[in-house]
Each structure stands twice: as C-alpha cells, then as structure tokens.
Amino acid sequence: MPQYKGGDQVRYKPVGGNRIGHASPDSRPPESVGTVKGVLMEPGNQAGRNMSASAEQPQYEVRDLGQDYLELKYGPWALALPNYLKIENANTSKTTTIYEANILGSV
C-alpha cells in the first residue's frame, strides 16, 4: 500500500539513485516539493508511458502547480482515472513518473 495520499505535501527527488530508479538521499538531483494527487498501483499508463506499478511498488506522477498538461492532452477524464497518482510540483512545468522510494518524506 502507498505511504502517501492525495493532499500530502512531500519532498522528493525526481530521478537518480540505484539501478531500479530509486533516489538515495545522497544522489545529486535536487530536491523538489509537491502535493500528492493520486497513485498508480497496477500496470497502466502514466505521464504518457506504460508503467509496471503494483501495490508493493506504486508509481507517482509529478506535475507543476497550475500546469494542465494531462487535462489538455487527454481531457478532464485523465485526471480522475482510478488508482492514479499525481504530485503537483511547484518548481517545473514538466510531468514525470517517480517511484515511491524517491519521496524523501512529508513537508
């Protein structure tokens, strides 16, 4: 089960870390802060990519606050998909998918 839920403010590293994509606290990418919006806990599509998510290894999506990329590209229904997670990022306007282990903790 995911550790974070919609509305949680979190610190995370968008990329870096070990061979399966997890960021370590020592990795070079800068930290970002965002708001969790949902979670992908089964194989599916997120940020335009096929993801092999599971309940044990959920995938998170990062999105800029005020950036309506998904809604513009896929329509408003894309924001309400079941088991779908977004983290709104206040620093960038890009959308990316991250592992739960890339989340360093709550703000």
Q: In this structure, is residue 23 part of a structural domain?
A: yes
Count structural domains, the chain. 1
Residue 42, domain extent: 9-106
Q: In this structure, is residue 42 part of a structural domain?
A: yes
Instruction: Pick the closest to residue 10 from 37, 28, 29 (CA basis).
Output: 37
6's CB contacts (< 8 A; 6+ apart) are 36, 37, 38
The predicted-structure confidence for 88-98, as pLDDT tens digits, reads as follows: 566 665 556 67
> Whole-model pTM?
0.59
Q: What is the mean pLDDT of each run of 10 residues along the chain (107 residues)?
A: 79 60 58 75 77 83 48 50 51 66 82
